[in-house]
Amino acid sequence: MATTNAAMIAANATRWSQAHIRPDWQSAIDVTADRLMVPAARARFKAVEKAEGVPWPVVAIIKEREAGADPAFRRSIAQGDAWNAPSQNVPRGRGPFPSWEAAAHDALTDCAPFAARWRDWSIGGTLTILEKYNGVGYAAKGLPSPYVWSATDQYVKGKYVRDGVFDPDFVDRQIGCAALLLAMQKRDPSITFAAPGTPARPTETPPASVIAEATRTARKTRAGAAVAGTGAATKSATETPATPVMHSFATYSAIGIAVVVAIVATVLIARKTRAIAAVW
């Protein structure tokens, strides 16, 4: 199955129209939905909606799926790490931030899948941007993502248990995004979705600024390696060769290391660029 935005949006909209919460999950879903909708939490989610343009129920669900139960708002919605220190999990190296809201801005605006840059807030579009937080591997197989559909009758089994490893018999035991949305909408009928048809992104490909932000560290590494290699060659050309064999060995070793570092950095840049394009 295609993993284009249009294909994923259509598939998720169809599943939503047919979805029901599984009765054995109802109690756990109720507890989670109630926690996400207490007035103090809702106020913070709505503040992020106003600042970033991401509907507050989506912000709440991203927080739940990425940071777990965190009523004190101590963990970032990007990956669940503390927002007052540099993050250790992907996306790594984000922060520290002065507040949970500042961390949310970074997560939604500058980290994949760039939810603040999403435009289709129909139900299909909403579920698709949520699915992109866990990757498009299930869509590529034509399967419902447990990240979205677990705890509903649209999902039975099958899960990527680690990167690139799919276990067709593994059953996900976390509450999916759609089940939480259904429960939240039941509690608050004002939670509605836009009509379908709005382009998912303002541009078909990621803008240069997004690519530059995501590859900044690798590009600096590559540039530093190039300078190191040039420096070694220049030093070799200007030195008096008192011990030519040793100097040549040291020089060529330095150049070789710089070349390897530059190649590795270039590969990382290419991988990050492809990853960004996949979630765009």
Report CA 120 to chain centroid distance, whole Å. Answer: 17
Model confidence at 104, pLDDT cuts 50, 70, 90, reads very high
Model confidence at 274, pLDDT cuts 50, 70, 90, reads confident
Q: CB under 8 Å to 173, separation ≥6 — which residues?
A: 150
* Cα(112)–Cα(136) distance, integer angstroms: 12
* Cα(253)–Cα(42) distance, integer angstroms: 58
Are residues 156 and 168 in contact, defined by beta-carbon separation less than 8 angstroms? no
- For residue 165, is pLDDT > 70? yes
- Looking at every residue in the chain, the average pLDDT score rounds to 90
DSSP secondary structure code for residue 121 in this structure: -
| Phi then psi dihedrals of residue 185, to 5 deg | -65, -35
**pLDDT: is 243 or 159 the higher one?**
159
Number of H helices, E strands in the chain: 12, 2
- For residue 43, is pLDDT > 70? yes
**pLDDT: is 259 or 143 the higher one?**
143
Measure the CA dihedral 202/204/205/206, to 10°. Answer: 20
pTM, two decimal places: 0.83
Q: What number is the average pLDDT over the span 181-203?
A: 95
- For residue 262, is pLDDT > 90? no
- For residue 237, is pLDDT > 50? no
* Cα(104)–Cα(56) distance, integer angstroms: 12
